[in-house]
Amino acid sequence: MGTRDDEYDYLFKVVLIGDSGVGKSNLLSRFTRNEFNLESKSTIGVEFATRSIQVDSKTIKAQIWDTAGQERYRAITSAWLRELRDHADQNIVIMLVGNKSDLRHLRAVPTDEAKTFAEKNGLSFIETSALDSTNVETAFQNILTEIYRIVSQKQIRDPPEGDTIRPQNVEPIDVKPTMSSEGVRKQCCQ
């Protein structure tokens, strides 16, 4: 079931942050367009793409931001991290992604080490390959589902002010039992 790009229940922003050459752009491309570019050039600044998925019968539009990894653009990445720490909800979802799992012989970080790091820092962890599509869909599905779960739980706990009807200028009325109702109660309860 396809949906128009402007029809969605939730819009979630996902930011891809990492060193230059780790495959952020191809992860974005693989998830949003199912494409992989062997000749991928370094991202200049920040780029983004969108894709909508279904979670619990809700349409989630993911706006995925791809940041530059080069040293001269690190200020952008730092700004995003600062912005997240300063202004994001305390329930922010962060996933550590080990990309290029298809290049086992060039592995820079052992899986166990990455898992341990993720556990110590309260992150979810997954290994992916944008080249052969391994776990790319799963990674984005997992993070978007987790964000949705947190947002929907928060809405149940803290409904928006506009959803609550509160009468205004109302005075309480004190209703006292009448003689006839007191008499009935005494008769039935003796």
Taking residues 69-74, report their average pLDDT.
57
Answer yes or no: is 17 within a domain: yes
Instruction: Count CA within 13 A, CB hemisphere, residue 50.
Output: 16
Answer yes or no: is 172 within a domain: no
Question: Domain containing 52 — which CATH number?
Answer: 3.40.50.300
pLDDT greater than 80 at residue 99:
yes
Taking residues 109-137, report their average pLDDT.
93
pLDDT greater than 60 at residue 74:
no
Q: For residue 165, give Cα distances in angstroms to 158, 162, 171.
A: 14, 8, 16
Question: pLDDT band at residue 108, thresholds of 50, 70 and 90?
Answer: confident
Residue type, 104: R
Per-residue pLDDT reduced to its tens digit, 125-170: 999 999 999 999 999 999 999 999 999 988 777 766 655 544 555 5
Q: 17 lies in which domain range? A: 7-157
Count of structural domains within the chain: 1
Q: How many residues does the chain have?
A: 190
Query: Under a CB-based contact definition with an 8 Å cutoff, are residues 39 and 50 in contact?
Result: no
